[in-house]
């Protein structure tokens, strides 16, 4: 915990212990941000939290809970009716986040105690999948009828502002809740009486549908950088908005999911989930990687006579495999970053893949020449008398000649050049293929692409050794 945060916590604790009225304590505590007060909840025992609830009241506790990270223990201090009262005072999306931290039975009990209108909003948000933008929307917005005058719109704004703090964008709808356009607060404030509001609204405004995938539209939201965006249902009726804070949260969730996929997980893991759930998330890709690992082992076993004849080349196997993996990972990172951008044409993607192929080829050529030189020197000067050659079933040894040194250096150099070239191409083309067949390109990362590259590098390395030293299968 940061030093500044610790200072806040100590200051808030001292306020709770002061010999002053609860109203005075409340005024002092509310001078701190709700996020700091939320951190305080985890630092108090049950009795102290109960005292804090009594001081702040339902409305303020609702704001604090919206910023709390570990809400389950905090919620269990209260009875279901009190929890329901606080949840009713929260934005619907924040209420859903709190409910999801509780077990299913408790969720249903609390939902049954909610006001019908609040219950309907929560059920609507929960009806969408986690990867759909509808699951991130909020009912915290202000809408006005397209028939309202400037005076009527201002009156509506003042009435709604007490319960909805997202006032920078005002949504104009018709009597059937069809979105007409978006009005900026500034435009309404400076509008003269008698001005037709339809002349002030923006009709070409970014809109999204509740079933749109978060991963598909997050970049578009970042590009516009608006305070909020309207969310429509399948009938194009306004049902909610997503705020800039929600966009940041959604982006963080996307990054966490991509990070999980880099580790070969199907989705992000919850630290508090059961062992069985964690196994269920990890096992699918581990099975795929097991199959690929077996293929890699079978590939290696197919060159057992090469290893028996030329055991020294095993020393340089990891060099070729590692460099091929590094090259493939670099191309993979560049390609995934390109695919994450909103505007991508097939021509642009093809150009990027071809570029990665050329980059891998040049890097492979340079590093192949360097490795060829060092391996040649090592084999000739540092490895006299350890060359193993099998003839007529008998193992013979002889000093490395320049010819054999050149062959050994060539195996490593040419294999490195070829493996880095091929791996760069694989690292670029695999995520493109995954994207085309609607699989998240991030799952092409990490262990998956590394194992594929290892198999290719092994075939190249030992295949070349077998040819140059005339070793039969």
- What CATH superfamily is the domain 3-127? MgtE N-terminal domain-like (1.25.60.10)
Q: How far apart are CA 31 and CA 177, in angstroms?
A: 38
Among 216-220, 391-395, 435-439, the least confident range: 391-395
Tokens of 402: 């320049």
322 sits in which H/E element: helix 317-339
Which residue ranges does the chain devote to CATH 1.10.357.20? 275-468
Give the helix ranges, DSSP H, for 340-441.
Answer: 346-381, 402-436
Annotate 204-233 with three-state secondary structure. Answer: CCCCEECCCEHHHHHHHHHHHCCCEEEEEC
Q: Residue 305 in contact with residue 472, Cβ under 8 Å?
A: yes
pLDDT score, position 155? 85
Which residue ranges does the chain devote to CATH 1.25.60.10? 3-127
- Judge whether residue 362 has pLDDT over 90: yes
pLDDT score, position 361? 92
* Between 19 and 221, residue with greater pLDDT: 19
**Mean pLDDT (whole number) for 327-356:** 80
- Judge whether residue 464 has pLDDT over 90: no
Residue 38 has a CB neighbour count (10 Å cut-off) of 19
Q: pLDDT, tens digit, for every residue of 254-288?
A: 666 655 555 545 555 454 566 777 677 667 777 87
Q: How far apart are CA 16 and CA 6, in angstroms?
A: 16
Domain covering 142-262 in this structure, CATH number: 3.10.580.10
% of the chain at pLDDT higher than 70: 83
Local confidence band at 455 (pLDDT 50, 70, 90 cut-offs):
confident
Which residue ranges does the chain devote to CATH 3.10.580.10? 142-262
- Could you report how far apart the first and last alpha carbons of the chain are, in Å? 62
Q: pLDDT, tens digit, for every residue of 243-252?
A: 877 777 776 6
Q: How far apart are CA 198 and CA 180, in angstroms?
A: 9
**Helices 214-224, 244-262: inter-axial angle, 10-degree rounding:** 130
Enter the DSSP assignment of 67. T
Local confidence band at 366 (pLDDT 50, 70, 90 cut-offs):
very high
Backbone angles phi, psi at 182, to 5 degrees: -125, 135
- β pairing state of 238-243 and 228-232: antiparallel
Number of H helices, E strands in the chain: 20, 8
Tokens of 325: 């993996």
- β pairing state of 142-145 and 169-173: parallel
Instruction: Look up the pTM and report it.
Output: 0.56
Q: How far apart are CA 231 and CA 138, in angstroms?
A: 9
189 burial via Cβ count (<10 Å: 0-12, 13-18, 19+): exposed
pLDDT score, position 261? 56
Among 11-25, 93-107, 212-226, 311-325, the least confident range: 212-226
- Judge whether residue 172 has pLDDT over 80: yes
Q: How far apart are CA 145 and CA 195, in angstroms?
A: 15
CATH architecture of 275-468: Orthogonal Bundle (1.10)
Coil, strand or helix: which one is 172?
strand
- Judge whether residue 190 has pLDDT over 60: yes
């Amino acid at each position: 915990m940061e030093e500044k945060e610790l200072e806040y916590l100590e200051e808030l604790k001292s306020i709770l212990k002061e010999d002053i009225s609860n109203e005075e304590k409340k005024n002092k505590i509310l001078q701190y941000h709700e996020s700091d007060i939320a951190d305080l909840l985890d630092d108090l025992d049950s009795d102290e939290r109960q005292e804090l609830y009594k001081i702040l009241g339902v409305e303020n506790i609702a704001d604090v809970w919206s910023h709390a990270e570990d809400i389950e223990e905090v919620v269990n201090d209260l009875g279901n009716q009190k929890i329901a009262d606080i949840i009713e005072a929260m934005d619907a999306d924040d209420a859903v986040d709190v409910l999801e931290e509780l077990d299913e039975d408790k969720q249903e009990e609390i939902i049954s105690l909610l006001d019908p209108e609040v219950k309907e909003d929560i059920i609507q948000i929960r009806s969408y999948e986690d990867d759909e933008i509808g699951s991130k929307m909020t009912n915290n917005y202000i809408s006005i009828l397209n028939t309202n005058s400037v005076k009527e719109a201002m009156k509506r704004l003042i009435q709604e502002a007490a319960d909805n703090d997202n006032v920078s964008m005002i949504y104009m709808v018709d009597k059937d809740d069809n979105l007409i356009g978006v009005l900026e607060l500034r435009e309404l404030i400076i509008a003269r009486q008698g001005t037709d509001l339809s002349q002030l609204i923006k009709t070409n405004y970014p809109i999204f549908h509740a079933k749109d995938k978060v991963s598909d539209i997050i970049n578009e939201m970042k590009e516009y950088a608006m305070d909020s965006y309207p969310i429509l249902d399948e009938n194009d009726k306004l049902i909610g908005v997503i705020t800039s804070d929600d966009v940041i949260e959604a982006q963080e969730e996307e990054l966490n999911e991509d990070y999980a996929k880099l580790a070969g997980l199907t989705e992000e893991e919850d630290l508090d989930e059961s062992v069985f759930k964690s196994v269920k998330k990890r096992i699918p890709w581990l099975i795929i990687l097991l199959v690929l690992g077996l293929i890699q082992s079978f590939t290696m076993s197919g060159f057992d006579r090469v290893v028996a004849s030329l055991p020294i080349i095993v020393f340089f196997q990891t060099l070729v495999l590692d460099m091929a993996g590094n090259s493939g990972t670099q191309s993979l990172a560049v390609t995934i970053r390109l695919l994450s951008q909103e505007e991508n044409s097939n021509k642009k993607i093809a150009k990027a893949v071809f570029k990665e192929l050329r980059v891998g080829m040049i890097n492979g050529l340079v590093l192949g020449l360097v490795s060829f030189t060092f391996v040649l020197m090592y084999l000739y000067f540092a490895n006299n008398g350890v060359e193993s050659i099998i003839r007529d079933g008998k193992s013979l040894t002889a000093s490395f000649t320049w010819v054999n040194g050149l062959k050994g250096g060539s195996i490593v150099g040419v294999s490195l050049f070829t493996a880095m070239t091929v791996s760069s191409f694989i690292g670029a083309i695999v995520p493109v293929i995954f994207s085309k067949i609607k699989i998240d390109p991030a799952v092409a990362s990490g262990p998956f692409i590394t194992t594929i590259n290892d198999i290719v590098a092994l075939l190249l390395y030992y295949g070349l050794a077998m040819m140059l030293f005339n070793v039969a299968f």
